[in-house]
Amino acid sequence: MKITGQRASVFFDEFNNSSIVEGTGSNTTTQNQKYFVISKAANSNVPVPAGSFFVAPADAVPASQIMLLVGDRLFAINEERFCKTSASFEFSYGSVDVGDDCDPGATISDGILTISGSLAGLFRYDTVTQDFDSVTDIILNRFLTIVEDNGDGTYITHPKSEAQVYLLTLLNSGGSIGQTENWVFCPINITSLSMSLGNSDAQNKDLSFTKGEGQAIIYKRAIV
């Protein structure tokens, strides 16, 4: 079985303090919520290491959720869809020259994983308000201060943000119950952004990224 890149769906979120969940010893995860693990208690029930990612159980019954202990700190990811026209990832290791006269030209891996990639998409405006969608704001705010003026003398300034961005890519969207979703999760730094505004072209944006702080993983989740 082979599928096209159209089946891959890309989502974004950025770190903000209001989405941090602190363990109390009596609270639990939320059904189907995606989390980035900031830190863990000594005897934590959180199933992955700090710096990694997981999805809470699908069962809504509280007893089926994960009890969070004092010391557990999670970031609840509330992903926004990035409607792509193209996407790419590159995973690579560096190499170390270990050649000698017994084995000329030999190399070994330096063990340092480098992840980079690019995304392209069109500018999307709300049909009613004509405002940008949330993902466009996240991306532009990495490079430009955003000022909101409501026209009646109220101004809100959003300085350029250095908050961590989380990229989630569902490789095989459209699955059925009993099948497996395959996600690529990666904290990223957006390193460049270009925009094209040709008179006879759709407005579009192209961005490049590299891995940020935290683990990049493949996450396989059963559809129930």
Per-residue confidence (pLDDT) for residue 184, from 0 to 100: 96
Same domain, yes or no: 73 and 94: no
**Same domain flag for 195 and 98:** yes
Judge if 200 and 137 occupy the same domain.
Answer: yes
- How many domains does the chain contain in total? 2
Whether residues 170 and 136 fall in one domain: yes
Rounded Cα gap, residues 115 and 103, in angstroms: 30
d(C-alpha 169, C-alpha 49), whole Å: 20
Do 52 and 91 sit in the same domain of this protein?
A: no
CATH number for the domain harbouring residue 212:
2.40.30
Do residue 155 and residue 50 come from a single domain? no
Reading the chain (224 residues) residue by residue, the pLDDT tens digits are: 899 999 999 999 999 999 999 999 999 999 999 999 999 999 999 999 999 999 999 988 888 999 999 999 999 999 999 999 999 999 999 999 999 999 999 999 999 999 999 999 998 888 899 998 889 999 999 999 999 999 999 999 999 999 999 999 999 999 899 999 999 999 999 999 999 999 999 999 999 999 999 999 999 999 98
Q: Which two tokens stand for residue 51?
A: 């710096």
Residue 49 and residue 113 in one domain? no
Q: What is the pLDDT of residue 90?
A: 96
Query: Same domain for 90 and 144?
Result: yes
What residue numbers bound the domain in which 70 lies?
A: 17-77
- On whether both 140 and 29 belong to a single domain, the answer is no
Domain boundary among 38, 62, 77: 77
Instruction: Write a three-state SS string for the chain.
Output: CCCCHHHCEEEEEECCHHHEEECCCCEECCCCCEEEEEECCCCCCCCCCCCCEEECCCCCCHHHCCEECCCCEEEEECCEEECEEEEEEEEEEEEEECCECCECCCEEEEEEEEEEEEEEEECCECCCCCCECHHHHHHHCCCCCEEEECCCCCEEEECCCCCCEEEEEECCCCCCCCCEEEEEEEEEEEEEEEEECCCCCCCEEEEEEEECCCCCEEEEEECC
Residues 59 and 128 in one domain: no
Domain limit, last residue, from 61, 77, 93: 77
The reply to whether 99 and 109 lie within a common domain is yes
User: Do 93 and 171 belong together in one domain?
Assistant: yes
Domain-ending residue, one of 77, 95, 128: 77
